[in-house]
Amino acid sequence: MGRIIFYEDRNFQGRSYETSSDCPELTSYLSRCNSCRVESGLFMVYEKPNFMGHQMLVRRGEYPDNQRLMGMSMSDCIRSCRLIPMHRGPFRMRIYERENFEARCTSRGRTVTT
């Protein structure tokens, strides 16, 4: 479970909004978002509503100035966010060389011929 707090102004000032889930439109809660604090988990934050525009992965920590966090080419406000689920346990992934699962593939670090 993750938790992120958004603030209207830089340096964690102004009104705040806290969430533990996806939020497609932060302006429903704050007029703008210029800083954030990730209490736990991983979040992808976006410069536009509905998970659009430039994005940045943020992890536990404090981000007092979104403009520095996201770069000068980005908007200075976060408009939406998505919680990145943390999966634990055994996973198996196969990567194939060609479309339609053809040719060699890599499975758990070793090459398998199919």
pTM of the shown model: 0.73
**Residue 108 maps to a domain:** no
pLDDT of residue 91: 64
**Residue 89 maps to a domain:** no
pLDDT of residue 54: 87
pLDDT of residue 28: 92
Domain extent for 16? 3-84
CA–CA distance, 81 with 32 (Å, rounded to integer): 13
Q: How confident is the model over 55-82, as pLDDT tens digits?
A: 999 999 999 987 766 664 445 689 999 9
Helix count and strand count (H, E) for the chain: 1, 10
User: Has residue 100 got a pLDDT over 60?
Assistant: yes
CATH number of domain containing 57:
2.60.20.10
pLDDT of residue 98: 77
The domain total for the chain is: 1
Q: How confident is the model over 5-60, as pLDDT tens digits?
A: 999 999 999 999 999 999 999 999 999 999 999 999 999 999 899 999 889 999 99
**Residue 90 maps to a domain:** no
